[in-house]
Structure 1
């Protein structure tokens, strides 16, 4: 059984922000969200999160997660924080002690730590660094860990040690219940150090296991904006490398951001300054132009997306031609071989096979059939100021430029709408509709009211 204990009570003063530190975003997710996600991947029995400053905001942000919240009202050190969990911490199994501001430790690294700690009952992640200033030093004797000495308490010889403590531990719950009540604050900071459990383990004759992370950024913490930005770049560089190993052609991996998850096919090409957000799937031979933002969308094989197009919760079929400067909003669903051109916006609309809207068009709350052509400047007038209505356009329809289709309205199969028309009535199949009129005014007009 695994319990995950997350220390997330810090104020984050150096962030210069009203937002609690653990809610600061990395890859568009709060720092704490990354840690919780990893804990869930490990199938933790409990996720115990210690909160303090800004606790209400933190708890509200993760209200839908199965988390046991423990308050640390006074900031008396890491040992004191974990002490607060003892009333809810199990008596059996192991606890992984993690940090809400150390967001990127991987499942694989934590699994190795768990495996290494099972025999001795205690293990930790350590790291060799070129400059250990400010970090707790790992003191070894004959290769075995004997103690952790904080930088402010270290003597000159100990300050030369380059192996540091990351603060991430795996400890048997039984030992935590035994050791934590014995912590003392007799040190330079007057705090209860969690690191003192290492000396207790040595005193009990235990051999402390240790592992190193595969990547140094896994154990990097965030205390200010500079560290946050640097860690963002390291994470983005790592994700770009993983995608390129899968065969993705990133034109410049230093100018690519993945803020979620991405599943890709073969021979995908992504130009500079593209942002992928949420959960996205991209098929074979898709090309994405510079400056595009793709969020929670699926793009089928062979589709070409021209620069500066924006997708949000869209589903795109095969061999589409989209953009530049196109916008696909939630529930835009495009069939195969569709053309959506420059400055075209599609929202809550299905577009059928081989249909086209190539210029300056708005399609909202609509259905477009196969092989239809929507002329430049056409809009579906789906909103009367209070309620929304649907426009239906059949197969092989031709909508002339600068037309307004006032919903609810239906355009039949094979119908033609003359340019500049304001269509307020249904158009029969294979008919020509031209609707233009002089200005009409009605005094004391009452706008529609929202339907209940």
Structure 2
């Protein structure tokens, strides 16, 4: 196998998006478009991947990181000019270069692999990835000779009426013999309506040199979708969602209503998981077997253990064990760690807290910056008072402790193993193991006082 390189075109501003956000950073199913492209290319065993950046260069580099090297296109003078910016890195290397636009998030590794294999099998100097479009408006048309050979590509704005009727379109993805590519780019002209240097003109140059130019037509037109405005972005989102959801369903996941379920591309889900409508699963999330999620739960960057049930709740950046019960209407905030058989009930907020096995906070509590042992019961309305206005402090509740309803635990404080905190207490000193701590005002009853108050109201 020859050396393989890739160039990602990500320098355009994307004015039709009408957005402060650089075009290729707009997300599709929670992942920026350019990251979708790079992730698919990474599976091709490349020797080198280069991203051409321009507007928003720093943001793109921050997103893609070390997965690519970068060159800057200072002036946006067309796709041919963009690829030429990689001349110093690639021009003298032997092998195959695949060129992909950074706004084509639906393109798959499988299609790219077939394109490369076809190109190398044909020993072509250039191979175009084409598709059949029912409505080809806006796409470059593939012009073939009478015997079916590729002659050239003509852009929409430069196409004649007859050429505009052609339905085989250029997807904007190519394979080239690397040396032939950069030699031809030096001869590309900007003599066209846009006064730009078009990468497709390389095809005509190679043909005029009697080189072999081939085409591989994908049977999935949707992969060719380039996102230039919000309408296309919505189409890409819908198509990507359908692709992701179908894959999970074929792998043993039950989606009650796939049209109302949103799963990011990197989410991993086990078998016999049931996901109800309105759920959103994002980022680096892993869901083990037999979990039930939803309805209307949002999970981001979490690991959820087997047989856990999450109802109408939000969880982020946390580890959730097996057979855990969460919700409805709970909030698991970042850096939380819930062990097996924990219960976090309705309107409970957990932040940067660990819960040992079998512990529970069943309702209406805030547990933040806390270390909760095993078998702990936290009563309704309990608050870990963790913040003094400048610093956060730790609350420690040891194994088998019982915290009565409406208690305030003023950190830093420790409730010892097996200790009891009486309902309504404000605890600001450590509670010894097996002790009962009562920290509330003594009740005083004033007999008949209510009648006196009522009399005063009448006056």
Instruction: State the shift of 1:19 in Å.
Output: 2.1
Equivalence map 1:49-60=2 (5 Å): 49-60=51-62
Instruction: State the shift of 1:155 in Å.
Output: 2.8
TM-score w.r.t. structure 1 length?
0.92
What is the CA–CA distance in structure 1 between the aligned matches of 2:55 and 2:430, rounded to whole Å?
Answer: 60
1:216 aligns to 2:216 (yes or no): no
1:287 aligns to 2:287 (yes or no): no
1:349 aligns to 2:325 (yes or no): no
The root-mean-square deviation of aligned C-alpha atoms, in Å, is 1.8
Instruction: State the shift of 1:214 in Å.
Output: 5.2
Judge conservation of contact 2:35–2:63 (CA < 8 Å) in 1.
Answer: no
Judge conservation of contact 2:381–2:406 (CA < 8 Å) in 1.
Answer: yes
1:415-447 CA-partner distances (Å, limit 9, x unpaired): 110001011111122211101249xxxxxxxxx
1:195-217 CA-partner distances (Å, limit 9, x unpaired): 11112222333332322335323
Question: What's 2:164 paired with?
Answer: 159
The 3 A distance-change label for structure 1 pair 47 and 134 is: same
Gaps of 5+ in 1: 439-452
1:306-331 CA-partner distances (Å, limit 9, x unpaired): 11x11111111111111011111122
What is the CA–CA distance in structure 1 between the aligned matches of 2:249 and 2:361, rounded to whole Å?
Answer: 34
Question: What's 2:447 paired with?
Answer: none
1:79 aligns to 2:84 (yes or no): no
Q: Secondary structure at the match of 1:58?
A: helix
1:267 aligns to 2:272 (yes or no): yes
What is the CA–CA distance in structure 2 between the aligned matches of 1:60 and 1:393, rounded to whole Å?
Answer: 41
What is the CA–CA distance in structure 1 between the aligned matches of 2:32 and 2:53, rounded to whole Å?
Answer: 15
Question: What's 1:121 paired with?
Answer: 125
Question: What's 2:374 paired with?
Answer: 370
- Give the alignment partner of residue 34 of structure 1, picking from 29, 36, 39: 36
Moved more, 383-392 or 261-270: 383-392
What is the CA–CA distance in structure 1 between the aligned matches of 2:118 and 2:107, rounded to whole Å?
Answer: 16
Question: What's 1:447 paired with?
Answer: none
Equivalence map 1:231-270=2 (5 Å): 231-270=236-275
Question: What's 1:419 paired with?
Answer: 423
Question: What's 2:454 paired with?
Answer: none
Judge conservation of contact 2:131–2:169 (CA < 8 Å) in 1.
Answer: yes
What is the CA–CA distance in structure 2 between the aligned matches of 1:268 and 1:53, rounded to whole Å?
Answer: 42
TM-score w.r.t. structure 2 length?
0.90
- Give the alignment partner of residue 147 of structure 1, picking from 138, 147, 152: 152
Judge conservation of contact 1:269–1:286 (CA < 8 Å) in 2.
Answer: yes
- Give the alignment partner of residue 299 of structure 1, picking from 279, 304, 317: 304
Q: Secondary structure at the match of 1:261?
A: coil
The 3 A distance-change label for structure 1 pair 288 and 397 is: same
Judge conservation of contact 1:144–1:207 (CA < 8 Å) in 2.
Answer: no
The 3 A distance-change label for structure 1 pair 387 and 156 is: closer
Judge conservation of contact 1:145–1:207 (CA < 8 Å) in 2.
Answer: no
What is the CA–CA distance in structure 1 between the aligned matches of 2:359 and 2:67, rounded to whole Å?
Answer: 46
